[in-house]
Amino acid sequence: MKRNLFFLIMLAIALITGSCSNDLDEVPAPAAGSSGQAITFKPWANKPLRAAATQAKDVTDFAVLATDTTLSTGVGVLINGVLVVGSNATSWTYSPPAFWPETAAVNFFAFSPTAALGVTNGVAALAGQNDATAGQPNITYELPTTLTDQKDLLVARRSSTFSQDGAGGVLLNFRHALSRVLFQAKSESSMQFIVSSIKLKNVKSKATLDLNYVPKDTDPFPYPTDNATIASPGYQTHWVPDGASTVELTANITDTVVAGDGAWHYVVGDVDALYVIPQENDPSDLNRATLVASGDPDPSGGFYIEITYRENGAGAVNRTYAVPVPAIVGDAYASSIAFEMERQYTFQFELFGKKPIEFKGVTVSDYSTVEQEEPLRLHWAGSNIYWDGTKLTFADSDDKSKEQYQGVFFKWGSLVGMSPAGANGSAWSRVTYFPTNPGVDETWTTDDITYANYADIPYATGTLTSYLRDSTYLTAITNDLLTGKDTIAARKGDICVYLTKIGAAPKGKRWRMPTNKEFEASGDYAKVGASGATTGNANGTAPIPSGWRRQNLNTPYFPASGLRENLTGVLTNVGIQLIYWSSSSFSATNGYSFSATSTAVYPIYNSSNYRPYGFPVRCVSE
């Protein structure tokens, strides 16, 4: 034992003296105003979609820029476009380490993989840039022109603070920066055909992306789900072409047989695809498919697709067609097609033996329509939000002692909790719980005067840009550096995010309201207890023994807490119905919600309610 102790002491002395002799090995000291805790990362990505590309579980590196916008020098660069390597399964490392500011927000910008062909300056692409200058930070990308050289380019942006991400690591949500193109073909009848080549002609080959256009955190791009609904102010391409140079993109396919069964068949494959820089293309001069003889000049100055195929039989000769892509239905713009960021395009063609090929249409969808990889394991809070006598709070994921708490009620996007006290049919009690000086300090107020009129309780209003089940709209506006303070000051936003920011939520986790999609389907739930009218208390701590339990994701119990009606605040259905707000917006007037009666859980994707209704909130963490 003494020998071991002596050895450890000598080793410590050697390490100390060794570090003094080599300044290059020293870890830099935290700057003034720093929290003293190093910035770490916890990235994830939607699964890129072909074998040659990087998949989320295989991501091993990314380049990151981090800027602190509140330093007195203007914009302080904390991480200057450095390489980060590792994995979520082990850890992510970079050098030199950077430290969280004690209170200031930090903007993070990243792209992956750093070795992607076409990114100007590679891993150093973000070095020396900041987000205080218009058009920065940005990356310039030159598109590899053949499928085998292409990789799915991923980008990320997040605004965060030490209190949000200091414990668990910065959650970088990598998004697809490019457009993805698939091809399908079918035969006119029982004839079989062989497709030997597909090319996208006259697409712009080089462009620059301002990373400030990348949605932060987990927000989806605000794009329509149907290509026919794209309208002013125009296309969401975000990339700015560098000059007018155009190229042809080639899908390196071997001969692909299209069966004569009248069904649609993938020509390149349903996994392999061409990637395209998002862009608005010039219209084609062609008005129908044109047979192209070998050596003919380019038949059009605009965008078109070139396909070479033949009948499947001895002696059949390849024929090459230039196929124009008609304008999108209802499109007021000149482009034949606009390739948008993080969007997928499936072009369909019908093949004929004795007449020209026909373009049949293009299906436009989001990358989210294909298989995704879960970012991090989702955990539900152990209770609804309730009043503990001094503040609004809730139980941690592994604490089941408060799972039956009725919880206080909220209008959609409100930071004001409403007392659920009373029996069914009780009038508005006027008792509320709200931050005294939101965004200024952490104090709370409860009274029956401030919001004596139910209609005066604030909630999120107005036309939104996204009506998707997986949208975290309330989370996004609360975290936004430009509008978040104003939102919170008006006592609006994601109550779970707000409680996290002020330290009223269980520590060490990033809490937020769930998206509507995260409640998932009715088959995930089992009924608990016999439904029957009951009475709650003022703090939302009264146990409600009837409800529904989710069978996965830490098996949360959702009590049938009831609700307050949207016009008068009357209390109804306590012990009979459960209905919970999500962060997802259904329309300009409604929010998505999760609901169930005494007999059934309703399909979540059809469930929405008028925002002034009062429902409980259950938080989630990742």
DSSP helix/strand/coil, 474: helix
Report residue 544: phi and psi, to 5°: -115, 105
Angle at 272 between CA 271 and CA 276, to 5 degrees: 120
Check whether 272 has a pLDDT greater than 50.
yes
Q: Which tens digits make up the pLDDT trace of 386-413?
A: 999 999 999 999 899 999 999 999 999 9
With beta carbons less than 8 A apart as the criterion, state whether 362 and 374 touch: no
283 pLDDT band, cuts 50/70/90, is confident
3-state secondary structure 42-77: CCEECCCCCCCCCCHHHCCEEEEEEEECCCCCCCEE
Cis peptide before 283 (omega within 30 of 0): no
Neighbours of 58 (CB within 10 A): 11
Burial (CB < 10 A; 0-12, 13-18, 19+), residue 28, is exposed
Q: Which tens digits make up the pLDDT trace of 479-526?
A: 776 677 889 999 999 999 999 989 999 987 889 999 888 888 777 899
Q: Which tens digits make up the pLDDT trace of 571-614?
A: 999 999 999 999 988 888 899 999 998 888 886 656 788 999 99
Domains in the chain, ordered, with CATH? 25-140+150-176 (2.60.40), 179-369 (2.60.40.2630), 377-396+403-622 (no CATH)
Strand arrangement, sheet containing 206-210: 138-142, 206-210, 239-241
Q: Which tens digits make up the pLDDT trace of 552-580?
A: 778 899 999 999 999 899 999 999 999 99
CB half-sphere exposure, 37, CA atoms < 13 A: 16
Check whether 253 has a pLDDT greater than 70.
no
Q: Tell me the pTM.
A: 0.56
Q: Which tens digits make up the pLDDT trace of 425-480?
A: 999 999 999 999 998 889 999 999 999 999 999 999 876 555 677 778 898 888 77
With beta carbons less than 8 A apart as the criterion, state whether 492 and 415 touch: yes
